[in-house]
Structure 1
Amino acid sequence: MNQRAEAAEFLRTRRDRITPEQAGIIGGGRRRVPGLRREEVAMLAGVSVEYYARMERGDLGGVSSEVLDGVARALQLDEAETDHLNDLATAAAPQSRRSRGHSPARNVTPALQRFLDAVTGAPVWIRDRRMDFVAANPLGRALYAPILDDPANQGNTARFTFLNPAAHTFFPDWQKNADGLVATLRTYAGQHPRDKGLTDLIGELVTRSDTFRHRWAAHDVRHHRAGLKRIHHPDVGHLEFTYEAMDLPANPEWFLFAYTAEPGSPTEERMKLLGSLSAAADETVHGPAQL
């Protein structure tokens, strides 16, 4: 992706959404657009108009953290947006100043799979930043079977969401899920602008899906940490979970998700049924477990 264009569009779209009233600016004459002018952002951020104009042209190289913080305050960025602005500035730095990080493990270790399998009362699964399904416990695999069994989309939740019509049934809150998924992908893209697998996925979806392309153009970002998830599973019906997302320090590009249901809720009962159906299907394929 063109990093200068990314930075320029991100700042422009954030400026366009802030009204003078929200920024505490009174008057200012007639306006052709509802958002702030560049000179108003510069004033609020405490920088010259020329300096902010340079930033909005996508040139973030050498911009200090203090200036970035000032612009974030002026544009009323939330935590995810502020982090994204800093990621874009880091990407604009000379190669020698960028964090090299370390290469994550590519295979699920036996110890990690044992940990997942030890969680028996809730679906637990891992995906990477390209939205590829990596591993799960049996309940997690059963829950996401419609995605895993879809050969065209290769166990990728983004492809399934935007390229398979069945996603609109599987995710009852499809619009909200789609918005969040695209915003999460843009966050990852800002953090890892040279991840070819990620940029290839985004390019594919921009080309193949109008709904993805329109959302991508909004330049929204988010942190995917916790929330509510509703799923309509073809075998057991409507399910409603709260979820928690966790980083895996040994595998920095992997993220673990744990779904839980309210005790005594219909979802809890339906998940017990799904677990029984999954175990019965596994026994049919592999035979009974050895004692």
Structure 2
Amino acid sequence: MWIRERTLTILLVLSLVANVFLLAFVLVPESDLSPSLSEPGDTETLPAATAAPLLAMEAGENGSAASLQAPVILQKIEVDRGGPFAYEEVTEEGAMVNVSVEVVDGRGRVLVQTTPLMGIAFQDAANLAVVVAANHSHVDLTGSDIIFSIQGPEDISEIDGPSAGALMAVLLLSVLEDIPLNESVTVTGTIGEDGKIGPVGGILEKAEAARHGEKTLLILPAGNDQILDQPEESRSLGRLRISRQWPPFVDSKEYIEENYGIEVEYADTLDDLLAYVRLSAAVS
């Protein structure tokens, strides 16, 4: 009997404590249960590195797209099946392709659409061009997609190589910094992470393509200031005719301007290149 009464007493005490706790919880002001809110005018100071000025890129504004033509080297493979054996003959020729860039709302992607198909080296050059242009302009592109479009001859199956990297960087800069471009100028050259313009091959073929494309100025990398010329010297010795070839280097600018009728300038950095492709720097 004594044990039963003691048990009931304990239960009553526990019930009383629980009721007091619930009552106190209900009466607590809501502001004390919620996270504290800053008063208007309060700001949070960011570290210096985080607070570095970045320009937000708003897609859809005027000037969110740009285009130029670029000289490229196209390889054609012809199969000769005459005779008992078939062999492949690879020929190279210069051609102009249309390269354009568009900045749209997105998720920081770099997209490339080409006709014909594109190779891995070309895609890598596009990605690097975006990084270099964004660093040059201090623009945050994480909320935008960069779309490069390349249109080439339909009879070519693939375009590859990094020689349009400098042009793609300039095209994107023209959008980010609202720079009008001179369409009579064309560019060839790779782009480095430091903004340097790197040398490429096929200079004479590209000069020929630029001339046929009615361009007035061809911008070459500073590293392509020399080209290899191979004249032939012949003389007769009795009934024998002796020919000798030697590989002298000649100035690219002088050689191309004299033999192809198109003006040439050199660019070592991205800033050099911008100075030539601006519309205000048009060459008559």
More strand by share: 2
Larger radius of gyration: 2
Compute the TM-score of the two structures, normalised by the length of structure 1.
0.23
Compute the TM-score of the two structures, normalised by the length of structure 2.
0.24
More helix by share: 1
